[in-house]
A and B are shown apart, each in its own frame.
Chain A
Amino acid sequence: EAQVTQNPRYLITVTGKKLTVTCSQNMNHEYMSWYRQDPGLGLRQIYYSMNVEVTDKGDVPEGYKVSRKEKRNFPLILESPSPNQTSLYFCASSQGTDQVYNEQFFGPGTRLTVL
């Protein structure tokens, strides 16, 4: 089954404790992206990647890191999480890099709480 998977789905952690949220897609997609969803703000892009070893900042990259060492994986790293990073996180992927003619497929989301 074609899908985007994220782990963990739920995470409660404490300020400053490094964490990684994994994202994997089995569709051989070129493009991958991370978003955070907050009430009243919709989805905001954190980072995106147009291919292996190619990543770029989205609209809200502060406090986050990403890597794209393999085509299928795009982990999101919080080196020192803070309470303002409490949010619902989505990973997405698409076949091509342009977002008009390539539909993004979203993972199920990771709900992160930083105490």
Chain B
Amino acid sequence: AQSVTQLGSHVSVSEGALVLLRCNYSSSVPPYLFWYVQYPNQGLQLLLKYTSAATLVKGINGFEAEFKKSETSFHLTKPSAHMSDAAEYFCAVTLYSSASKIIFGSGTRLSIRP
């Protein structure tokens, strides 16, 4: 069965500091992986996705994620946090390119300290 585990339901960083949100996946075959962001009182928005083309994936708003097969991880990073990055972030997975559904993780709330 496919699943993702997000380590840490809440992460707090100072403005300008590195953002690191952790996601580990579990699947028997190479997965397709996603990061979504949910700003307060809004729906989810796709940040980036891994489709096996390149292990380092760049997304919107300066975020990137690296697929590491040996660690079964797909952590999300941003070198310097902005106040506007405060949101909830979801990692998600699917196994097949033709899949009609994706499985979401439990989410990590990111807070930014001034």
Contact = CB atoms under 8 A, between A and B. Distances in A.
Among B97, B100, B102, chain A packs the most CB atoms within 10 A around the CB of: B100
B106 to A, nearest CB: 4
A107 interface: yes
A43 B104 contact: yes
A100 interface: yes
B44 A106 contact: yes
B43 A109 contact: yes
B106 A98 contact: no
Contact of B104 (A44, A105, A108): A44
A4 interface: yes
**Size category of the binding interface on chain A:** 20 to 34
A20 B114 CA distance: 42
A74 interface: no
Given A106-B43, A109-B43, A41 B97 contact: no
Given A99-B94, A100-B94, A48 B41 contact: no
Interface of A: 4, 31, 33, 35, 40-45, 48, 50, 56, 58, 90, 92, 97-101, 103-109
28 contacts: A4-B43, A33-B101, A35-B104, A40-B106, A40-B107, A41-B106, A42-B6, A42-B104, A42-B107, A43-B44, A43-B90, A44-B104, A50-B100, A90-B43, A97-B98, A97-B100, A98-B97, A98-B98, A98-B99, A99-B94, A99-B99, A99-B101, A100-B49, A100-B94, A101-B51, A106-B44, A106-B45, A108-B41
